Structure 1
Amino acid sequence: MNRLKKFLGGLYATYILLLFSATVIILFIPLYATWLFKEPYRNRIFVTIGRGWMAVFMPLIGCPMRRKGLENFKAGQTYVLTCNHNSFMDILVATSSIPGSNKTLAKKSMGNIPVFGPIYRLGAILVNRKDEDSRKQSYIRMKEALHQGIHILLYPEGTRNRTDKPIKPFYDGAFSLAIDTQLPLLPSVLFHTRNILPAGGFYAWPHAVEYHFLPPIDTKGMTRDDIPALKERVFNIMLAHYVAHEKTPPTSR
């Protein structure tokens, strides 16, 4: 990377950070006020506000969002979604793009950030992955959210993909959850968030974002013995879709 682009990328990252901070402050009261409501209404209001927030924020930073495959969501059906994970931008984009109420699983430490932390806790079920009891409680909370009609979005790679591979190997969590609840699993694929905010260093660059929702997979009748096969099937579906569409021009729907 030449020095000029690195300098401009640093300025752009500063712009994103300042604008994000300003919008968090502006929306803090209405977002925090959603704590007055019980679930699932709390999440429904939160996601609605967040969707409007990102509809303004993303174009302002030169990163319009485009979705494809919304027809794969059936009205009244709750899903466990899987998504690839490349950037801190992923949660902002995915939460605001998924139709209907949704939550994700996230690191507990993120909930301790001043101002942003309480808002983060609204859209996520927090877990300390090093604490077995915390992992068990988060799993129970995810099942409760699904029972309330709230989609659960999980990143089966576990952490951001810092490798040169399109998608990292998957953990079992998302597939266990879908099978245990007998709910359909809906693969989804995010494109270009790594171009905007790559891991490592204070650097960013504008780029359009695409989020593709793929046909759901029915898990009725499956048991935990089917986890390895289901995990491999979803991995292959997401990998093939990512490779096939990564370099294509953005499309809108």
Structure 2
Amino acid sequence: MNGVRKILGRLYAFYFLLYFVVLMLILLIPLYCCWLFREPTRTRGFITLGRIWMFLFMPLVGCPIRRRGTEHFQPGQTYVIACNHNSFADILVATSMTPGINKTLAKKSMGSIPIFGPIYRLGAILVDRQDEESRRQSYIKMKTTLDLGIHMLLYPEGTRNRTTEPLKPFYDGAFSLAIDSQVPIVPAILFNTRKIIPAGGFYAEPHKVTFDFLPPIDTKGMTRDDIPALKEKVFNIMRDHYVKGPQ
């Protein structure tokens, strides 16, 4: 990376962060007011405001979003969405652009950040992955969330993919949840978010994002014995679609 590009990338990263924070502060009171309501109204309010936030944010930082495959979401049906994870930008795009209302699973430490933490907790079920009881409670909360008609948006790679492979190996959680709750699982692929915020350093670049939802996979009648096969099937579908690239 040449010096001029590095400088421009850092300036853009500063603009990206500044504009994000400014919009957050403008929407702060309405977002905080979501805590006055019970679920699922609380999450519906958060997602509505989040979509406004991203509608004002992503295009004006040079990152327009193209969304495809929303026809796979049937009215009245709740889903587990399995999405790839390459960048911090994934959360901004996936949470706001997934049809219907959704929650994700996130690190408990993020919920303690001043000002931002309460907003983060609106859209996420928090978990301390080092604590067995916290993991157990988060799983119960995810099942309850699905029962309320709220999709669970999960990243089966666990953390951002910093490798050269299309996907990291998947954990079982998303597939256990889908099978235990007997809801379909929707494979979803984000393209180009890694180009916006690459791993490591204070640097960013504008880029168009494509968010694809693939046909859902039914889990009715499956048991936990089917987790390995389901996980492999979803992994192969997502990997093959990612390798093809946005069409």
State the TM-score, normalized to the length of structure 2. 0.99
Please state whether the residue corresponding to 1:203 is helix, strand or coil: coil
Gaps of 5+ in 2: none
Q: What is aligned with 2:96?
A: 96
TM-score, scaled to structure 1:
0.97
Match of 2:133 in 1: 133
For these two proteins, the number of residue pairs brought into alignment is 247
2:239 aligned partner:
239
Could you tell me how far apart the structure 2 residues matched to 1:41 and 1:33 are?
A: 11
RMSD of aligned residue pairs (Cα, Å): 0.6
Does the aligned pair in 1 maintain the 2:24–2:53 contact within 8 Å? Answer: no
Cα distance in 2, alignment partners of residues 194 and 245 from structure 1: 13
Do structure 1's residue 17 and structure 2's residue 20 form an aligned pair? no
Letter aligned with residue 184 of structure 1: P
Aligned partner of 1:73 in structure 2 is: 73
Matches of 1:110 and 1:199, distance apart in 2: 18
1:208 counterpart residue number: 208
C-alpha separation in 1, matches of 2:136 and 2:49: 30
CA shift for structure 1 position 245:
1.9
Identical aligned residues as a percent: 70
Q: Is the 2:68–2:213 contact (alpha carbons within 8 Å) kept by the matching residues of 1?
A: yes
Correspondence list, 1:28-47, <5 A: 28-47=28-47
Where 1:153 maps in the other structure, the secondary structure is: strand
Q: Distance in 1 between matches of 2:93 and 2:108?
A: 20
Give, in whole Å, the separation in 2 of the partners of 1:197 and 1:62: 13
Aligned AA (2:236): N
SS of the residue corresponding to residue 58 of structure 2 reads helix
Which residue in 2 is equivalent to 1:163? 163
1:26 corresponding residue in structure 2 = 26
Distance across 2 between alignment mates of 1:109 and 1:64 = 30
The corresponding residue for 1:190 is 190
Instruction: Please name the residue that 1:85 is paired with.
Output: 85
Deviation digits for residues 94-132 of structure 1, max 9, x if unmatched? 010011110000000111111111000000000000000
Partner SS, residue 227 of structure 2:
helix
Following superposition, the deviation at residue 175 of structure 1 comes to 0.2
Matched, 1:154 2:150: no
For residue 52 of structure 1, report the CA deviation from its aligned partner.
1.0
* Alpha-carbon distance, 1:93 to partner: 0.4
Q: Give the C-alpha shift of residue 89 in structure 1.
A: 0.6
Partner-residue secondary structure (3-state), 1:167: coil
